């Protein structure tokens, strides 16, 4: 595929680290203006690998555009692998061509057919894998996935009983936590590259939004779906909550430890725990009432419109990945050790999961429309709304009792 490195990329690790010192000042400024704002947007194309900081992101049925659309799985069991098992995944960086970060309904005019996700790791040549789902389905476009300078392709060979070959490409059955479903294999070149980097036999797979539905938990978000995220389509954390945590830590940690999609400023610490529904509108947009607001870029409109609401559905339980430095892949005891002092389930009033620790809120998007705004487009090009840095958040419903979210 294309051998040219994307010209516009911002690494999420560097970007978030650079904002640490200005967080308190930014919160104060926004609070004076009355509404929280979106101060960070991040996508993680490959589950548990490096993220990308973006200025805007389309909201799709499974979360932010390009988020967790690829995943590394064990070559034998096809079970997902994350930094929990391989901390070196923190050092794998991803980048997208600038055209891929535009509203997806414009891709027919802007996104080249051979556009690629660009993947790097220290000490290894870069890898390119196609963005187009048509490639994975067997409708090959351009050259095959491969490392820079290598001409051979990656169709993949027969490997076990979990494979299907057909007109739509090579399907494999994969597992993420309690969900088992189909995904598209990314080929042998990708498998060999990730196996070398991670020191174990793995495969790279792609989620197919047109043919696969992975529902979220009906106990917390019935009727919604996600891709390869742990359980929900989006994660929101406030900068104030991170500042509150860092005030308790011997050494502060950056936001990238928690891998959020949406970072907000201008609210009190842990306010996001209480947000049951909220809308997002461009900065300076004045609404006449509390109805859901947003921007519908799926149909090409640039005007503010009532397209839906975001709902906080479950606090995010935290694991050992939060203890892994995303720049070095080294791990320690913090912040989990400090979380145990004030963010356990029992500290938050929960009757279940009382020993788990929580930080951030899992979020879904509920469209106001029952009809897909872009029905004529392929599934991967459909978007429901657009989020941008600086957008204002209007909290529509709040409840300080986290326990009410639990069945």
pLDDT at 224: 97
Q: Which residue has the tokens 């907000």?
A: 264
- Within 282-326, strands assigned E span 294-295, 304-305, 308-317
Bridge partners (DSSP) of residue 185 are: 205
pTM for this structure?
Answer: 0.84
Residue 364 falls inside a structural domain: yes
The answer to whether the beta carbons of residues 100 and 132 sit under 8 Å apart is no
Residue from 22, 1, 93 nearest 51 by CA: 93
Residue 341 falls inside a structural domain: yes
pLDDT at 6: 47
pLDDT at 25: 47
pLDDT at 107: 72
Q: Strand 179-185 to strand 169-176: parallel, antiparallel, or no bridges (unpaired)? A: antiparallel
Residue 361 falls inside a structural domain: yes
* Domain count for the chain: 1
Residue 206 falls inside a structural domain: no
Residue 371 falls inside a structural domain: yes
For residue 262, the enclosing domain spans 218-405
pLDDT at 372: 53
Q: Which residues of the chain have pLDDT under 70?
A: 1-33, 140-169, 284-306, 369-377, 379-380
Extract the tokens encoding 83: 């930094």
Residue 122 falls inside a structural domain: no
What is the phi/psi pair of residue 389, to 5°? Answer: -60, 140
pLDDT at 148: 52
- Mean pLDDT over the full length of the chain: 84
**Own/partner long-range contacts of 180-184 (Cβ < 8 Å, ≥24 apart):** 181/212, 181/214, 182/208, 182/211, 182/212, 183/71, 183/73, 183/207, 183/208, 183/212, 184/133, 184/136, 184/137, 184/208
pLDDT at 54: 98
pLDDT at 159: 37
Residue 358 falls inside a structural domain: yes
Residue 31 falls inside a structural domain: no
CA dist 64 and 233 (Å) reads: 7
């Amino acid at each position: 595929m294309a051998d040219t490195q994307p010209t516009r990329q911002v690494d999420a690790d560097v970007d978030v680290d650079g904002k640490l010192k200005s967080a308190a000042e930014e919160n104060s400024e926004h609070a004076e203006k009355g509404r929280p704002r979106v101060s960070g947007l991040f996508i993680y194309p490959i589950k548990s690998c490096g993220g990308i900081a973006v200025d805007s992101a389309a909201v799709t049925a499974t979360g932010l555009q390009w988020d967790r659309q690829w995943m590394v799985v064990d070559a034998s069991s096809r079970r997902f692998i994350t930094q929990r098992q391989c901390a070196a995944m923190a050092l794998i960086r991803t980048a997208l061509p600038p055209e891929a970060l535009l509203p997806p309904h414009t891709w027919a005019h802007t996104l080249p057919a051979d556009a690629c996700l660009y993947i790097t790791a220290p000490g290894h040549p870069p890898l390119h894998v196609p963005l187009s789902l048509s490639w994975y389905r067997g409708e090959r476009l351009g050259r095959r996935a491969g490392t820079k300078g290598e001409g051979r392709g990656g169709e993949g060979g027969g490997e076990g009983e979990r494979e299907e070959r057909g007109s739509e490409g090579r399907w494999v059955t994969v597992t993420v936590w309690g969900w088992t479903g189909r995904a598209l294999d990314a080929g042998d070149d990708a498998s060999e590259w990730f196996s070398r980097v991670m020191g174990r036999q793995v495969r790279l797979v792609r989620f197919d939004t047109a043919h696969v539905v992975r529902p979220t938990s009906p106990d917390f978000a019935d009727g919604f779906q996600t891709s390869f995220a742990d359980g929900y389509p989006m994660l929101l954390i406030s900068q104030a909550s991170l500042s509150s945590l860092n005030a308790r830590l011997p050494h502060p940690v950056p936001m990238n430890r928690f891998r959020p999609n949406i970072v907000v400023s201008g609210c009190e610490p842990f306010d996001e725990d209480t947000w049951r529904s909220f809308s997002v509108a461009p900065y300076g947009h004045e609404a006449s009432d509390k109805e859901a607001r947003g921007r519908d870029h799926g149909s090409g409109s640039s005007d503010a419109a009532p397209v839906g609401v975001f709902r906080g559905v479950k606090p995010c339980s935290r694991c050992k990945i939060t203890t892994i430095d995303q720049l070095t892949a080294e791990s320690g005891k913090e912040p989990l050790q400090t979380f145990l002092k004030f963010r356990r389930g029992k500290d938050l009033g929960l009757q279940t999961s009382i020993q788990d620790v929580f930080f951030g809120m899992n979020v879904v998007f509920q469209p106001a429309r029952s009809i897909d705004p872009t029905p004529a487009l392929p599934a991967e090009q459909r978007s429901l709304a657009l989020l941008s840095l600086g957008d204002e958040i209007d909290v529509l419903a709040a409840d300080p009792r986290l326990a009410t979210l639990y069945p």
